[in-house]
């Protein structure tokens, strides 16, 4: 970001990007009215429009702002400007407990005690004010160079009397820190937070949480059935404190956070002075020993970044956002004095992606010729063999069809296209705006997408680009009609109060426009109709959770297809009619898919029979899109460490990574799919 022409968001002057999480970006910013530095947290460009997520964003700010305590993060402001939702927070120096553990291993007991005492005080205050935190973990605790601890990220906070606000399962938080009664679907109270605090204390002293496994289900089983294991060097008095904090029966736990903190502090008075913490993995090669004296180490100031979970949502336009700025690569020096030579964010990656300088993107710029991106070779797919003519012309092996998607490999979200075997990856857009929600036309010659709340249509050879919705409103979620002549999208243009309402409060209606921008009209169709146009599939709320339903286009004949205690999301009808693909979140988090969740791509017959898990992996698998003949499904998976575009046969076999790039790739659309 240019220092000569800083970008503004309302009254905040953006100084630099200081970190980004899965769903948000945090900027260091200056409050031009009050003349103070803040950490400005905005929703990420990848977060497609989702009312629950935006509502949770504001709930986080409201919950934190209602609590006044020296160990709870101060929230200065929450608002929306230029379509961007943001929270302005106190700018904090320090590191999260997770960073400390990742870089230096366990924390010495005599240094952990004052941190626990401060967080316990903050937690008791929140409980006294009627709030449960519900997501207490090391990444939500910041410690500065003076040892001052701050509790943050109240995104899952809820009133004690309404602890079922997210649904009857009550299951919220991060698996390693969820109390047994929450796993059993019992109504949580303050003691669920205290269990989470006990897990955090265990992890601070030992270096890892007491119950780890490869899946949320396995972690749940361990929470419910196993007692925590303690390393040999842990003092007996400390073991007793942790055992009580982690009791399966909440009646047997500490009943207030301060009781736990006091019990832990009391162990210091009866043990021999321990200069270093417990050695948990001394016999294992490469184990980390704790660094003494870390509280007084020199730590350069960094800004708070609360933890976001990556939400993979189908469709939805992208709100305009601040282009990310170039960020220097942090240098990690793992020394006894904990010296850092660069500013770090708790959720920033080790090597942030450099991004373009911000420019005014209110008017879409001309699109340069597409850039071919070399990719790693992928294994051959089970796709129809090319005809001799196709082979001679170098055309891909699926009748010339291609897949369009969004990638951040060049620093910000751009539209890409590739052959269905992953070859020939080409960047179609090249600008500093946020491009998203691509939809490839049935004949594969054009792609509709969202930029700055407008629907644009771009030829796949990059030769032409037009704005088909040059109207003063927000337009999102484009998709093509079956004949490829018109584009259907959602718009808030009919809401007279859209200028002051937040996005999730507005009235959204379907519109359609010709591919050349003419013929704008209200659409009588629905989001996902059957190929014969007689029925529609949609998400329905039944029995307190989200299921898949179908009904006739006139609203009659509704039928529920899925019956599952978790959330079934984002149904897509197959082009040939008999099947519906959808996403099941096996660890529901307010309806969306987050890291650590086990979201799977399923298929079900349109009559509700033969439900089958296709993707069947422990990762987040999301955003299914059909091939034009229904033989394959393209989807997004983070099983290789970051979101990538995958393809599989419609029976779930031959799953292949197509995009194979270290940057996030998402929002795939198959021509005709």
* pLDDT at position 159 over 80: no
The alpha carbon of 354 is separated from its chain's Cα centroid by a whole number of angstroms, namely: 21
Burial-class residue 378 by CB neighbours within 10 Å (0-12, 13-18, 19+). Answer: middle
* pLDDT on residue 520: 92
The residues with which 142 forms a beta bridge, in sequence order, are 96, 150
* pLDDT on residue 504: 56
Of the given ranges (68-77, 110-119, 396-405), which has the lowest mean pLDDT?
396-405
Q: Taking Cα atoms as reference points, which of 537, 21, 99 lies closest to residue 309?
A: 21
Q: Taking Cα atoms as reference points, which of 34, 18, 57 lies closest to residue 322?
A: 18
* pLDDT on residue 316: 32
The band of 368, judged by pLDDT with boundaries at 50, 70 and 90, is: very low
* pLDDT on residue 284: 37
Ordered structural domains, the chain, with CATH = 1-93+300-352 (3.30.200.20), 95-270 (1.10.510.10), 371-670 (2.120.10.30)
**Higher pLDDT pick, 555 / 663:** 663
Q: For residues 604 and 656, give the distance between their C-alpha atoms in angstroms, rounded to a whole number.
A: 22
Task: Sheet containing 149-151: give its strands across.
Answer: 95-96, 141-143, 149-151
Give the mean pLDDT of 578-593: 74
The residues with which 96 forms a beta bridge, in sequence order, are 142
* pLDDT on residue 274: 35
The band of 400, judged by pLDDT with boundaries at 50, 70 and 90, is: low
* pLDDT on residue 668: 94
DSSP string, 227-262: PPP--TTS-HHHHHHHHHHT-SSGGGS-SSHHHHHH
Tell me the CA distances in angstroms from 229 to 210, 268, 599, one per residue in order.
Answer: 7, 21, 30
Q: Taking Cα atoms as reference points, which of 174, 208, 200 lies closest to residue 105?
A: 208
Q: For residues 619 and 615, give the distance between their C-alpha atoms in angstroms, rounded to a whole number.
A: 9
* pLDDT on residue 544: 61
Of the given ranges (33-47, 298-312, 505-519), which has the lowest mean pLDDT?
298-312
Give the mean pLDDT of 638-646: 90
The band of 641, judged by pLDDT with boundaries at 50, 70 and 90, is: confident
Residue 28 tokens, joined: 């260091």
Count the neighbouring beta carbons within 10 Å of the beta carbon of residue 284. Answer: 8
* pLDDT on residue 86: 85
Give the mean pLDDT of 638-662: 92
* pLDDT at position 467 over 90: yes
- β pairing state of 158-159 and 612-613: unpaired
**Higher pLDDT pick, 118 / 271:** 118
* pLDDT at position 648 over 70: yes
Give the mean pLDDT of 278-301: 35
* pLDDT at position 381 over 70: no
The band of 459, judged by pLDDT with boundaries at 50, 70 and 90, is: very high
Taking all residues of the chain, what is their mean pLDDT, rounded to a whole number?
74
User: Do the Cβ atoms of 72 and 64 come closer than 8 Å?
Assistant: yes
For the CA atoms of 223, 95, 150, 179, the dihedral, rounded to the nearest 10 degrees, stands at -10
* pLDDT on residue 555: 79
The pTM for the full model equals 0.50
* pLDDT at position 521 over 50: yes
Tens-digit pLDDT profile for residues 187-198? 888 999 999 999
**Higher pLDDT pick, 594 / 5:** 594
* pLDDT at position 343 over 60: no
* pLDDT at position 385 over 90: no
User: Do the Cβ atoms of 548 and 571 come closer than 8 Å?
Assistant: yes
The band of 199, judged by pLDDT with boundaries at 50, 70 and 90, is: very high
Give the mean pLDDT of 180-207: 91
Tens-digit pLDDT profile for residues 600-613? 999 999 999 999 99
* pLDDT on residue 541: 72
* pLDDT on residue 228: 92
The band of 54, judged by pLDDT with boundaries at 50, 70 and 90, is: low
Of the given ranges (171-175, 470-474, 483-487, 573-577), which has the lowest mean pLDDT?
171-175
The band of 575, judged by pLDDT with boundaries at 50, 70 and 90, is: confident
> In the chain, what percentage of residues exceed pLDDT 70?
68
* pLDDT at position 373 over 90: no
Q: For residues 534 and 516, give the distance between their C-alpha atoms in angstroms, rounded to a whole number.
A: 28
Residue 668 tokens, joined: 């795939």
* pLDDT on residue 27: 85
**Higher pLDDT pick, 233 / 391:** 233
Of the given ranges (14-28, 92-106, 410-424), which has the lowest mean pLDDT?
14-28
The band of 200, judged by pLDDT with boundaries at 50, 70 and 90, is: very high
* pLDDT at position 219 over 80: yes
Give the mean pLDDT of 448-454: 90
* pLDDT on residue 135: 83
Q: What is the DSSP letter of 221?
A: H
* pLDDT at position 590 over 50: no
Question: What is Dmax (Cα atoms) for the chain?
Answer: 84
> In the chain, what percentage of residues exceed pLDDT 90?
33
* pLDDT on residue 377: 34
């Amino acid at each position: 970001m240019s220092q000569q022409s800083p970008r503004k968001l309302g009254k905040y002057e953006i100084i630099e990007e200081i970190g980004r999480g899965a769903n948000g970006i945090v900027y260091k910013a200056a409050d031009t009215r009050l003349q103070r530095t803040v950490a400005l947290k905005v929703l990420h460009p990848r977060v497609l429009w989702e009312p629950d997520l935006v509502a949770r964003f504001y709930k986080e700010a409201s919950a934190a702002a209602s609590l006044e305590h020296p160990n709870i993060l101060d929230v200065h402001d929450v608002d929306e400007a230029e379509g961007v939702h943001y929270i302005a927070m106190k700018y904090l120096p320090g590191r999260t407990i997770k960073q400390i553990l990742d870089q230096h291993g366990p924390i010495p007991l005599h240094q952990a005690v004052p941190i626990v005492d401060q967080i316990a005080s903050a937690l008791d205050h929140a409980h006294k004010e009627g709030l449960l935190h519900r997501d207490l973990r090391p990444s939500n605790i910041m410690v500065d160079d003076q040892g001052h601890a701050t509790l943050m990220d109240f995104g899952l906070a809820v009133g004690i009397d309404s602890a079922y606000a997210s649904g009857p399962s009550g299951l919220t938080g991060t698996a390693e820190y969820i109390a047994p009664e929450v796993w059993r679907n019992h109504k949580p109270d303050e003691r669920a937070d205290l269990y989470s605090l006990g897990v955090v204390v265990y992890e601070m002293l030992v270096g890892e949480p007491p119950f780890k496994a490869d899946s949320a289900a396995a972690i749940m089983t361990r929470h419910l059935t196993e007692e925590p294991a303690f390393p040999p060097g842990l003092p007996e008095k400390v073991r007793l404190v942790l055992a009580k904090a982690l009791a399966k029966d909440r009646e047997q736990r500490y009943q207030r956070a301060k009781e736990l903190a006091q019990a832990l502090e009391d162990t210091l008075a009866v043990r021999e002075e321990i200069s270093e913490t417990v050695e948990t993995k001394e016999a294992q090669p490469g184990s980390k020993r704790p660094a003494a004296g870390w509280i007084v180490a020199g730590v350069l100031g960094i800004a708070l970044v609360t933890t976001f979970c990556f939400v993979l949502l189908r469709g939805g336009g992208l709100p305009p956002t601040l282009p990310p700025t170039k960020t220097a690569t942090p240098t990690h020096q793992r020394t006894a004095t904990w010296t850092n030579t660069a500013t770090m964010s708790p959720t920033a990656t080790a090597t942030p992606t450099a991004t373009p300088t911000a420019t005014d993107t209110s008017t879409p710029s001309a699109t340069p010729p597409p850039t071919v991106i070399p990719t790693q070779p992928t294994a051959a797919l089970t796709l129809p063999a090319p005809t001799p003519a196709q082979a001679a012309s170098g055309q891909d092996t699926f009748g010339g069809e291609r897949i369009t998607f969004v990638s951040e490999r060049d620093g910000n979200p751009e539209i890409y296209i590739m052959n269905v075997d992953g070859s020939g990856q080409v960047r179609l857009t090249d600008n500093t705006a946020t491009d998203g929600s691509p939809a490839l036309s049935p004949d594969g010659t054009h792609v509709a997408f969202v930029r700055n709340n407008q629907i644009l249509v771009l030829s796949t050879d990059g030769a032409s680009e037009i704005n088909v919705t040059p109207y003063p409103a927000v337009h999102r979620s484009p998709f093509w009609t079956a004949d490829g002549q018109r584009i259907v999208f959602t718009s808030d243009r009919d809401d007279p109060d859209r200028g002051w309402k937040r996005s999730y409060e507005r009235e959204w209606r379907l519109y359609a426009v010709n591919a050349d921008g003419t013929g704008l009209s209200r659409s009588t169709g629905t989001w996902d109709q059957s190929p014969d146009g007689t029925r529609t599939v949609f998400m329905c709320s039944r029995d307190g959770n989200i299921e898949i339903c179908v009904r006739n286009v006139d609203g009659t004949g509704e039928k529920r297809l899925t019956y599952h205690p978790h959330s079934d999301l984002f149904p897509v009808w197959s082009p040939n009619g008999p099947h519906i693909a959808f996403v099941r979140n096996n660890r529901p988090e307010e309806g969306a898919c987050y890291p650590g969740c086990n979201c799977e791509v399923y298929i079900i017959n349109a009559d509700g029979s033969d439900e089958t898990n296709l993707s069947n992996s422990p990762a987040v698998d999301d955003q299914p899109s059909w091939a034009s003949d229904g033989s394959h499904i393209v989807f997004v998976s983070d099983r290789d460490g970051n979101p990538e575009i995958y393809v599989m046969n419609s029976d779930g076999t031959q799953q292949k990574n197509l995009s194979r790039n270290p940057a996030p790739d998402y929002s795939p659309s198959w021509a005709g799919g």
